[in-house]
Structure 1
Amino acid sequence: MSKLDELIAELCPDGVEYIPLKQIAEVGTGSSDRVNAVDDGEYPFYVRSKTVFRSNRYLFDEEAIVIPGEGGIGDIFHYVNGKYDLHQRAYRIHFKDKEEVNTKYAYYYFAANFKKFIMMKAVNATVTSIRKPMIENFLLPLPPLPVQQEIVRILDKFTELTAELTVELTARKKQYEYYRDLLLTFDDDRKRKLAVQWLTIGEVCDLSAGGDVPKDRYSKEKTYKYNVPILSNGIGDNALYGYTDVAKINQPCVTVAARGTIGYCALRENPFYPVVRLICAIPHNMVNVRYLYYVMQTLNFQIPTSGIPQLTVPMLAKYKIPVPPLEEQERIVAILDRFDALCNDLTSGLPAEIEARRKQYEYYRDKLLTFPARPASQSGRREGGKEKTA
């Protein structure tokens, strides 16, 4: 039996009370606006996003949970302990009695359950804003303080491990970018030794732009008939628009976003159908497609500021890249592939380990924060956050 099991068996074997926040916490907004943000401000400034800004003033000095009142509802939570500034449409939740509620415990419970609570109250599929009464009616299970503290200790361990892995991943990505730029930089001596040519992308690739979605041959979901992915200018999984039955691009290539995420490059090794705002670069025999992918990541695309910002096929065709012999390209690719797998592969390396830890954390978080409700006959009556018996 774990320490937590022993505490529950001893202190709350029959379940716990679920208490509305209005009985145990102060709920309110700040009064600051984004114009109060200062790059090197002394205090953290919580607005309506995951990004924490800085400010030269503070409105509160306390331990609290901060959530947005608009945007990111149910997805953004901040735990704060100390002086901080607060946006006028962000809410603070400050618990009145530290002997009754561990704020970090409440923060973990909010992160796991608040979105579900809000969606149950919603009329539409999405919630764009919340008001104070909605927050005040959220029910928080209150086991005895030692149980809360043990739950926080366990979940903090999971959080710290994930944070350590994330820091390591960031360092590895910087290392990858350093070696990528080093390997793809050819000074005069290296250029001469390797017989490197500087050629335009138009000279070494067949370039084409995506077309309209084939609406008469389109399925949002993958089916037996429609199994060819339709790709857009989105990043990662967001590039998938749907499916069709005939591929337009059948050779390995590099795609480049022409609008929105301008310059975002992706390696495409399977047949697909590109749509508008996506440029496809199919390399000639003298260029390894993976080498092309890596070298195009180093390009700094200059986009005209007049009119609609966009990258066109003629514009892309003019950019020059270094083209060493295929043997050297393959050597560079072998090195960068190892870094890429370590930094980006969701089936191996650090991203896979971080994802596994995240799932493990969510499993134990949900398990640890689920309590049977104490029968009403055993519950005291609360007034002003304190328990009273009849």
Structure 2
Amino acid sequence: MSVLDKLLDGVQVEWKMLGEALVRTTGTNITAGRMKELHKDNAPLKIFAGGKTVAFFNYSDIPEKDINKEPSIIVKSRGVIEFEYYDMPFSHKNEMWSYHSKNNNISIKFIFYYLKINEPYFQNIGNRMQMPQISVPHTDKFQIPIPPLEIQQKIVAILDTFTELTAKLTANLTAELTALKQQYTYYREQLLSFEDGEVECKTLGEVGELVRGNGLPKADFTEAGVPAIHYGQIYTHYDTYTTKTISFVSPKTAEKLKKVNKGDVIITNTSENLDDVGKAVVYLGEETAVTGGHATIFKPGTTIIGKFLAYYTQTEMFAKKKAKYAKGAKVIDVSANDLAKIVFPIPSLKEQARIVSILDKFDTLTTSIRKDLTKENELRKQQYEYYRDLLLTFPKKVN
């Protein structure tokens, strides 16, 4: 803190409108279809189209006048409203705009960092529109601080270092999580693999009852009431099992829906990708729950443990089996009738319980480590944002 106090002590700050301090440039007139057509993976010129959408062109693909070769701040003005710094030759769709500096006393990277901490301000303006968007006057008239260039450069150096360290930490944590997931997947595949003839195999329909859900749009959710599981929540909120739901419906709505009892397995039937189809979660809550369409309730018989089934649906072996029954292109579906035909290994209940016990321990361990690593990453991010905000907070001149 003493370093920060010393750095900012007595700093004289000039305030100007962004459009007055920097040079605004337009992009190029090009459609999304044309961008896709001209894209080449190893081409040198990056073209921005808003959000995370980019393409790479050769220099000859667009007019020379539309190519920006100055380090710039790109304004993503529609949909996801944000600012991006880029210091290589680029262009962008003409619905966007960018800024660069021709003033030797202004660091464009410094202004970028200042705009980044003010993104919520611009996003709030954009969210007032039917399609989130901001216009040129919103940024042109925005007031920015301009301390002495030396101070700008010091702040940029500090924030660049923070950014680099944060990126390295995130990369390391991601690598740890990936390694952990790979280790868990390896042992799960080993535990659930059986030699031909080693255990009895039966179809899912032979070892339990399958009940296809009905209804349950998200609009029916209430803050309290009867526990409810929407199919989309299974592959976004739940792992192998859950003791409570994140959603509820009214008792009147629940009367129309299929019931889920403790120990039942809810299996997804539909998704935009095959990986999420057939994902299963065991409901272990004490209160009867409900589920809706695009999900099938599996009520285990006396020869299979629900958790054993749920863990098996996460394997590569099951992925190959369900792929044979998948129908559709944009939306993929594996029906309850087809799920009933899929053959599963059914070892003894004692062996199933042993495997489930081991995988439960792995699941608990990996979940705990994942939470710890995620929390550490979040704390480092908060630390970075705290110091960034301190460095970029300047007193405004009072008239």
What is the TM-score of this pair, normalised by structure 2? Answer: 0.74
Match of 1:119 among 114, 120, 124: 124
Report the more deviating stretch, 81-90 or 274-283. Answer: 81-90
1:290-310 deviation digits (Å, cap 9, x = unpaired): 332221123333322389743
Change (3 A) 1:333 1:148: same
Is the contact between residue 37 and residue 45 of structure 1 (CA under 8 Å) also seen in structure 2?
A: no
> Matched residue of 1:256: which SS?
strand
Cα distance in 2 for residues equivalent to 1:229 and 1:354: 32
From 201, 206, 210, the counterpart of 1:203: 206
Instruction: Kindly provide the amino acid, as one letter, of the partner of residue 142 in structure 2.
Output: F
Task: Name the counterpart of 1:129.
Answer: 133
- Report deviation, 1:347: 7.8
For the residue of structure 2 that corresponds to 1:351, the secondary structure is helix
Instruction: Provide closer, same or farther for how the CA distance between residues 53 and 196 of structure 1 changes in structure 2, counting only shifts above 3 A.
Output: farther
Count residues in correspondence.
Answer: 360
1:34 maps to: 36
Equivalent runs, 1:153-192 vs 2, <5 Å = 153-188=161-196, 192=197
Change (3 A) 1:182 1:156: same
- Mapped to 1, the partners of 2:360 and 2:104 lie a distance apart of 51
Query: Cα RMSD between the aligned structures?
Result: 3.7
TM-score (norm 1): 0.75
The equivalent residue for 1:141 is: 145
> CA 1:147–1:183 in structure 2 vs 1: closer, same or farther (change >3 Å)?
same
Provide the C-alpha distance between the structure 1 equivalents of 2:157 and 2:353, rounded to a whole number of angstroms. Answer: 54
C-alpha change, 1:132 and 1:211, in structure 2 (3 Å) is: same
- Once the two structures are superposed, the pairs formed by residues 375-390 of structure 1 within 5 Å of their partners are 375-376=398-399
CA-to-aligned-CA distance 1:101-121 (integer Å, 9 cap, x gap): 251x44443333223234246
The AA in structure 2 aligned to 1:280 is I
Aligned match of 2:228: 229
Shift of 1:314: 0.4
Q: Distance in 2 between matches of 1:56 and 1:341?
A: 50
Check the 8 A contact 1:66/1:92 in 2, yes or no: yes
Residue 202 of structure 1: how far off its partner (Å)? 1.9
Give CA deviations for 1:346-375 in whole Å, capped at 9, x if unaligned. 983433433444444444444544333233
Where does residue 242 of structure 2 map in the other structure?
none
CA contact (8 A) 1:30 1:91 kept: no
Alpha-carbon displacement from aligned partner over 1:175-227 (angstroms, at most 9, x marks no partner): 43344334333344xxx5xx3232222223332222234999x65323xxx25
Secondary structure, aligned partner of 1:279: strand
Cα deviation, 1:304-347, whole Å, max 9, x if unaligned, reads 23897433210211122223334443444445445544655698
Is the Cα contact below 8 Å between 2:73 and 2:108 reproduced in 1?
no
Aligned to 2:314: 297
**Which range moves more in the overlay, 296-305 or 242-251?**
242-251
- Percent identity of paired positions between Structure 1 and Structure 2: 28
Query: Which of 49, 52, 65 in structure 1 is aligned with 2:51?
Result: 49
1:138 alignment partner AA: F
